[in-house]
Structure 1
Amino acid sequence: MRGIDLAALSKTQKLRLEKALEELESLSSKVNSDASVTIADSIAVNHEDAILKGHGTADLNGEVVATLCGIVERVNKLIYVRGLRSRYKPEVGDIVIGRVVEVVQKRWKVEINYSQDAILMLSSMNMPDGVQRRRTAMDELNMRSIFEEKDVVCAEVRGFQHDGLHLQARSQKYGKLKGGQLLTVPPYLVKRQKQHFHHLEEYGFDLILGCNGFIWVGEHIEAKDDMVEDQVNQSEPQVLLPNKNATNLEEQEKNYTELETRKYICRAANAVRVLSTLGFNITLEIIKGIIELSLSLNLDIHEMLSSEFCVVVAEKEAERRKSNKRRR
């Protein structure tokens, strides 16, 4: 992902950014002072509880100190530090975005920023015809008409099995993603929430926040309801065969995205880049706020990647958190 060079900040900009970050740190530290640690920071523990020191911790002169930067996690008597710059650690039910790297027998292998490629079985995939049926040998032969190498897909973590991490895409909201941008951020910046699919109607695009740190910003696509599909005369299984000659013109029309929508997609993508550079949590509200801020300042899309705009975003975020705290 294209980065933003904060090393080019002027002295005034550096002072403004440092002040904003200090205010944000003071606000967050009052909420949970023991949540984040850096190397050699002391971790408050009760030695009478016979604690167990886990990953990222060490014993120094009778104190438990952190050996890496991260978040302190406590599981019963076990204390460990979860590193921030680590790979994605999947949990069942997570919404993830990935890229197909290989098509093999009855399955697709998908790269999701995990230590190994995830597996999406043909049997765990919602068929394009919308009919719930057994997969046939013909379906297996035409797997590339559904997904092929380098396609960006959205799926849900199904669980761990003997051959690796399995995904599933049994709903119309999952599947192939087209007409947008794929952004990669550290996974810890995307918190697990009830809703990871967002449609910004005022801007005309969809936003998907993958728990694995992959974020999709693309043109809005209406999800069809499986229940309204005509399922009459299903005695013989239906198979979708690719017909490139007949669908060439139709695909060109479908792939066209209006210029205004593309501009908003680029603004949202740049907002994610700014948040990733500053290390802020990425949420729908903050992304919308950055888009509105860039519009209110009459900034061009490329100007959102300037160092000055990053400083302004940090200052606005500090003001927002202050106002939220006062309301409480």
Structure 2
Amino acid sequence: MAKVVKRAYKFRIYPSTIQASELLRTFGCVRTVWNMALDARQRRYAIESRSTTYVQASAELTEWKKTAELTFLNEVSSVPLQQTLRHQQTAFAAFFAKRARYPRFKSRKKSRASAEYTRSGFRWRDGQLTLAKMAEPLDIRWSRPLPAGATPSTVTVSRDSAGRWFASLLVEERIAELTSTDNNVGVDVGLTSLATLSTGEKIANPRHERADRAKLAKAQRNLSRKVKGSNNRKKARQKVGRIHARITDRRTDFLHKLSTRLIRENQTVAIEDLTVRNMVANHAFARAISDASWRQLRFMLEYKADWYGREVLVVDRWYPSTRVCSHCGALGDKLPLNVRKWKCRPCGTAHDRDVNAARNILAAGLAER
């Protein structure tokens, strides 16, 4: 059985000098519109106790474009500007539904530089992509082919801290579900082992950030010595960005391979519902937890399971998976983090802390179906 899903294909692009200038101008306008819309929304609520709809925000954008101070907004495509208003509306909906934090203002240095174009904002012809306000198609490096006959519905252009340009093309794709299997697995995530499976297998934590920590620290010290606003500081900042990009790329590649393997080999994957945001408040482990990126692993498992007809079960975060004996079900005493092996008093079974937790997570997930 095949399922039609929306899937994004991300490619490296090399815009010309004119195209890069147009895109950078668009990024700046998108950031300006987001911040102005957020400010207007907050002021309206503070003064009138009324929320703002997308229609109201769009009407305000039209009026802003007519002012002398904001006439530059007319120089870029209107599509990314409208899209940022839609994204802000979605962000507030997620906030009120308690799925996300309150939307924040965007910073020129810290926020992601991106712009989204819907179908009316680009031309797709003979495998070439031309954005609005541009005369020539983008130079895209096709690292993999798009699905046969696929036409992008949206295109998101972005630039990372290392100065690399990317285009993400969202297409509809028909994905065949994987053949059903009887294998089920529980996954206990950790820091020494990134994932411990209920089968007893332990997957080592690559610790990508720690591997480049010395190089990153040196580059950051070099950046701190540069004069603000100078070209040398710009170059030093890009060097720091390249190291961060290398860490992120290696981590994402590893998690993609791990999540794909777990989904392909198992019909059901049980995981624990961890609150990573609260856990990183512990400064002793915050850096290691962020580097492990458990949340990203869970996200990958969930959407790939949806694609391929698999199932991801999420076990309550308060379930004492470490302390329960997976053999007899007895609840043991609390275990310090340095205790990696323990023995159940009632039945005498010796346990590896992480393997036992993974087996309990699988059992609890199957029981709550």
Between Structure 1 and Structure 2, the one with more strand by share is 1
Task: State TM-score, norm by structure 1.
Answer: 0.23
Larger radius of gyration: 2
Task: State TM-score, norm by structure 2.
Answer: 0.21
